[in-house]
Structure 1
Amino acid sequence: MRSNLTINGRPHTVDLPDDVPLLWVLRDEVGLTGTKFGCGVAACGACTVHIDGVAVRSCQVALGDVDGDITTIEGVGTPDALATIQASWVKHQVAQCGYCQSGQIMQAASLLADNPTPSDADIDDAMQGNLCRCGTYPRIRAAIHDAAKQIQEA
């Protein structure tokens, strides 16, 4: 089935069955490999993207169920112009292996869009479905607080 998608502000047309997970559309058909496969059952958060600004697990969203604009980590910032959340990630040296970080950043960006001044409890609640095998959770929390402060000061 032919589907028209808007991904990171650009139109894309794919010809795939409606039941193909969005994750594989993004990675294999569109070539946006920043979104990672982690578990395939929406338990780890590595595949987090936004649909109309809402964080979703792309491994569990069927192509036929996509209704809205998709943003992947590639649409958040660029190496020359990092988004505030990405700059905070770098500042706080969050990434170790880095595998989960695109999903972590996408979830954090969604949190800050909904709650620009999150408490530790708000952060823990919003981020609980994003796993980091390296255990950088304290740095993730610090980076989110830092990004929230920068956004408030802007």
Structure 2
Amino acid sequence: MADHFIQGSFAFTCSIAEAALIEEAWQLAADLMWDFDPAPISDELLTVFPPSLADKPLSGFTAIFDDANFPDFGADIQVENSIEDPKTCSVSIYSDTDFQPWPIAGLIQRCCQPTLAIAPIGFDWSLTCSKPRIDSFGGGWCAIFPDRIEIESTRQALSKALNGGLS
């Protein structure tokens, strides 16, 4: 038996308002995951995550997760006010066990549109294993733009390279 881990750690700068949205969404996911009654949802968060199902107001938010019944980012978050620019924050997202690239990217794309209009945000992650198991190591990268998210695993990149750059 072997343990598998998806690990990631990155930080980016965004506005205080964007960081507040990220923190609110992070807490909402935790509340939903543990079946707690969530705090009242701000109009700002409902605006960036409009419902995808008319009878479920949080369906737009839970849609960013692989399983809407299990809304987990698989990571921790830390937000710190910037010393250089009092209008910005540094957001750090990190995990050494179950980092979830797609939901994290979806959250950043929805909550940080003004920042993404200036420059994309990117991160990478690793897939590791406690034992030397074939195909149990790798990782990937993610680039978040205002209009799209590009994600690729190292396995996909290797396959392209081995096939002469063909996808």
TM-score (norm 1): 0.28
TM-score, normalised with respect to structure 2: 0.26
User: Which of 1 and 2 has greater Rg?
Assistant: 2
Greater fraction strand: 2
Which protein is richer in helix relative to its size? 1
